[in-house]
Amino acid sequence: MTLLTLDIENGDRAVRLALKGELDISSAGRVEEQLGKLQDGDPELFVLDLRELEFMDSTGLRLIVRADEAAREQGTRFVIVRGPEPVQRVFEIVGLDSRLDMADEPPAL
Amino acid sequence: MTLDRRYPSVDLDEPVGAVELTLGEDEPRASIRLPARESGVAVARQFVAGMGAVLHVGDQTCEDLKLAATEACTNVVLHAYPNGEPGPVELEMGFGQDDVVRLVVRDSGTGPPASIDFDDETEGGYGLELMHAVSDEIEVEGAPGSGTEVRMAFAAGRASAEDAHDPLHSPVLRRVVAMMGAHAGFTMDRLSDAVLVAETLAAHTSAHTVDGVVRVVVEDTDDAVELRVGPLVTGGAEGLLADSRLPAYGGVLEHLADAVETETGEDATEYLRVRLALRR
């Protein structure tokens, strides 16, 4: 049993990272490590799938904002698949839901 | 391109440490005290989720409380004890006299920053912004060197008198023990044993304590989760074990735990120690 499970799917110059469980300071390190590794592959499309994420806090927000900035710098399209209401609410409170590229369903890899 | 590493990959084996739970009997109020480590934040969140269930606050308020508690605890983990071993973080939750839910998060660390801006959107600022947004009232108090206390209120609307408070506190103990077990690497089978032990203790302990208040220390080690229940009255440990025996099954605690021991405390009090090993 772990707090957060990471599931990675590789496509043609595209990657999907799905997070399942709870993202907080104790699980952020593992996500950060994977985000770094996957973006190192310089994909055209990076999909962060939050559909099965049950909890996210400001640690998760900061991590996603930095990953988005890094993706922009290297010209990778960074898409976030919307999570359940408690997760989306966190984006909405700080006004990030309109600044990030969000989708209801993952685009094809 | 590399993402600068900011967060440690918490070793999943890093222990949470000793988690002290105090579950009030007459008043729907409880507290938890644990070492301010990354690994403890999820345990604190489970405490709050459990109290939310005890107080019947509703799903939305429960999510708000979990987020607020997580943010406040994360601040303690990151900022309160900059040097050396992490000190304690304590959470207290219950209804205030005005029927709003009160959540207090306190530490004994370096104290709050000189000025606090709830709308600070810079790195690290989201936490305060979120706490401010989900709570109906928030106050931060403290002084350099003497710790910080964050007090938040949530207008939840108290449920009807009879179900506003579950005196058994099972939802709190069950969630905290389950999270500690998950962190220690329990399998699903062993987790369900741990949950049953927690429910059994929650159901029968208050009758055997000195003041009706249930105190439990839950501690994870490399290969086990241990619960220390007490202080209990003289003979309380045996009474608790007897109460938890089921006809045609026997002692639930003795059956599921790897060790059940009685310890003597001060003033003829007793403690019941229950050890659940990772593998049986």
- pLDDT truncated to tens, each residue of chain B (280 aa)? 456 666 665 555 578 999 999 998 667 789 999 999 999 999 999 999 999 998 888 899 999 999 999 999 999 999 999 988 899 999 999 987 777 999 999 999 999 887 777 666 555 579 999 999 999 999 999 999 899 999 999 987 665 545 544 555 889 999 999 999 988 889 999 999 999 999 999 999 999 998 889 999 999 988 899 999 999 999 999 999 999 998 888 899 999 999 999 999 998 999 999 999 987 6
Beta pairing partners, B15: none
Contact B42 A70 (CB under 8 A): no
B178: nearest Cα among B157, B199, B164, B158: B199
Of A25, A30, A58, Cβ closest to residue B126: A58
Which residue stretches of chain A are H helix?
A: 28-40, 58-74, 85-93
Residue B65 backbone dihedrals phi, psi, to 5 degrees: -65, -40
Kindly identify which residue of chain A lies nearest to residue B182, measuring between CA atoms: A1
What pLDDT, on the 0 to 100 scale, is given for residue B4?
62
Instruction: Say how far residue B84 (Cα) sits from the centre of its chain.
Output: 23
The answer to whether residue B166 neighbours chain A at the CB level (below 8 Å) is: no
| Closest chain A C-alpha to B118 CA, distance in angstroms | 11
Please state the ipTM of this predicted complex.
0.95
The answer to whether residue A99 neighbours chain B at the CB level (below 8 Å) is: no
Q: Cα(B199)–Cα(B174) distance, rounded to whole angstroms?
A: 6
Kindly report the length of chain A: 109
Amino acid residing at A93: I
| Closest chain B C-alpha to A105 CA, distance in angstroms | 24
The H or E element spanning position B152 is strand B148-154
In the numeric block, the tokens 């900059």 are attached to B82
What is the pTM (predicted TM-score) of this model?
0.92
Contact A40 B2 (CB under 8 A): yes
- Which three-class secondary structure state does DSSP give residue A102? strand
Of B5, B38, B66, Cβ closest to residue A25: B38
- Which three-class secondary structure state does DSSP give residue B32? strand
Partners of B130 on chain A (C-beta within 8 Å) are 57-58, 90, 93-94
Kindly identify which residue of chain B lies nearest to residue A71, measuring between CA atoms: B1
The answer to whether residue A32 neighbours chain B at the CB level (below 8 Å) is: yes
Size of interface A-B (CB pairs under 8 A): 103
Contact B5 A57 (CB under 8 A): no
Contact A90 B67 (CB under 8 A): yes
Amino acid residing at B247: P
What pLDDT, on the 0 to 100 scale, is given for residue A62?
93
| Closest chain A C-alpha to B168 CA, distance in angstroms | 27
Q: Cα(B173)–Cα(B24) distance, rounded to whole angstroms?
A: 12
Partners of B186 on chain A (C-beta within 8 Å) are 1
Kindly identify which residue of chain A lies nearest to residue B78, measuring between CA atoms: A25
| Closest chain A C-alpha to B195 CA, distance in angstroms | 14
What pLDDT, on the 0 to 100 scale, is given for residue B279?
73
